[in-house]
Amino acid sequence: MEPEEPEVREAAGVREATGIREAAAGARETIGAGEKVLKGEVNLEMELAPEGTVAPEGETVLEREAALENLRRGLPPPDGEMLKAVTVGGEDGIWNFWREHYLADYVAAGGSKVKFFIGKAGAGKTHALLLLLAEARRMGYLTVYADARQVRLNKFDSLYQAVLDGVDVAGLVAGYAEKVVESLGYPAGQIPAEQDFFTWAQARGRAAETLRREVQEKLDALYHDRRINHNFAMAFTQLCADHLGARRLASEQKEILSDWLKGRPLPAKALKPLRIFARIDKYNARLMMASFLHLLRLCGRRGLCAAVDSLEALLERGPAGRALYGRAARNEVYESLRQLVDDFADFEGAFFVFAGRPELIHDEKNGLKSYEALWMRIQSEVSGARPNKFADLLDQDVLVKEFFTVERCLELQDRLNNIFALAAALTREDFSSLVGAVSMFSPVRRVVEAIFGASEAVAGLTAGTAAGETTADEGTAAETTAGGETANGTTAGEGTADGSTTNGATAGWSAGGRGEPGGEI
């Protein structure tokens, strides 16, 4: 049956929905730190690299400096090409294993999987997640990155919202609309971007009513698909009909439908005129997730690849000392994850990775082990000397221990020196000590910090030597008095009380290893 054209008759409901939407937008961080890493929103208050710096083809000086700043702060480079350029041991990277054995095979065929990825600070978890997402995008997957410190995960509808917040609904609508146009026998690529299909087809002699009926029949196929929730299909098909030009929606209506698909709370009186009779909540969010995943493949995507980082936030406390997640909220998160693991048999084409630090395992009172229903599903019952990359719970520290050898450290030093014009010259013995030391930080982070520290020390020594030579030249050229004073009044060969020369030239290292005022050779 052909649905009636929706109209929003209750203006108050629309106004209320708009108010809620604006308030939510003001309070919500868009995927938080993950977006900042991916978009490169970092502090660039530092000198530009020398023009002779060797960098990946097409990289700008600002991109190099953004990457350098991130690496100094313990974050992966924001640019994808730079991220690959500083990656060593890529052939052994877990992202490549997941790509070959899951994204290119099992998930592409309609299967789904959940992975838990644990590792120390600086072990390269976020680095691996971003490389995984880059590979997934290249393969035709929709990708989403979320940070557990920025989004609430304590109910399944919260998890649904975290995923859909990173989804371009308009892009999905356009993708499905192209499929509809092609199924009607028209080449979608010939329709001008500024013109909708309905207007374009009418200009070529198609009768309006006949064309509208054919379009609606194609859209009704989605509504009658048993794998898609009726309310979900109703919202999406209305947006498709508007995109095709068959049935127009007001801008407020389109925003309401898009927000509803993303799981945002809306008043019933705004939804009823659009024939949406249910909100997305913790009771139906799993059905909506299954509907969304099935729809992705209908829109031409291979599936969904989602990464949720910083899961250790479940155990952390805020600045005021209050836990970010109380025990009840934390257990709700674990229950949502348990449901996700159990329901993946019904999900289509999805790969989820939840990453966090070892505290999630070691804290038996508050960590994953505290929720037995989840722990029993993800624990590795058999462990060996080498890591099992097929395991649902994977330890990045074990992977690092296996592939992050002294040779890889030397390779990393060469790459950083070439890309950022550094002057680090650490030896095999230095790296052997760094890799073998026991610390709360990963060897990867210790090695990167050591490379930067060594380079800064060399730079500081060079700057200090140059400053000392300048001071000596000036002292020699100055005319001295009988008392041994230079013409500018400073005793030759002596420094002032703070160790600086009279003209301000200094030689020495600051706390950061650079030649700055405050030291003497």
Q: How far apart are CA 122 and CA 453, in angstroms?
A: 16
SS3 359: helix
pLDDT score for 381:
67
pLDDT (tens digit per residue) in 331-357:
999 999 999 999 888 899 999 999 999
Span 285-308, mean pLDDT? 94
Amino acid at 346: D
Span 46-72, mean pLDDT? 63
Instruction: Answer yes or no: is pLDDT of 502 > 70.
Output: no
pLDDT score for 152:
85
Residue ranges in 139-207 assigned as alpha helix (H): 156-164, 169-183, 197-202
**Of residues 135 and 343, which shows the higher confidence score?**
135
pLDDT (tens digit per residue) in 180-229:
999 999 988 888 888 999 999 999 899 999 999 999 999 999 989 999 99
**C-alpha distance from residue 432 to each of 234, 425, 445 (Å):** 61, 14, 14
pLDDT score for 495:
39
Q: 155: pLDDT confidence band, cut at 50, 70 and 90?
A: confident
Span 155-160, mean pLDDT? 90
Q: Report residue 78 as tokens.
A: 């924001």
pLDDT (tens digit per residue) in 350-397:
999 999 999 999 999 999 999 999 999 999 766 667 888 999 999 999
Give the mean pLDDT of the chain: 80
pLDDT score for 59:
59
Q: What percent helix, strand, coil does the chain show, rounded to 5?
A: 50, 5, 40
Residue holding tokens 């995984």? 132
SS3 142: strand
**Of residues 440 and 338, which shows the higher confidence score?**
338
pLDDT score for 29:
37
Q: How far apart are CA 246 and CA 2, in angstroms?
A: 12
pLDDT (tens digit per residue) in 449-497:
999 999 998 877 766 665 665 554 555 444 444 444 433 433 333 333 3
pLDDT score for 466:
58
Amino acid at 451: I
pLDDT score for 333:
94
pLDDT score for 469:
57
Burial of 266 (0-12, 13-18, 19+ CB in 10 A): buried
Residue holding tokens 């109910």? 155
pLDDT score for 408:
94
pLDDT score for 433:
92
Q: How far apart are CA 504 and CA 412, in angstroms?
A: 38
256 within 8 A of 270, measured Cβ to Cβ: yes
Helix (H) or strand (E) holding 394: strand 393-395
Q: How far apart are CA 188 and CA 181, in angstroms?
A: 6
492 within 8 A of 486, measured Cβ to Cβ: yes
pLDDT score for 345:
80
146 within 8 A of 163, measured Cβ to Cβ: yes
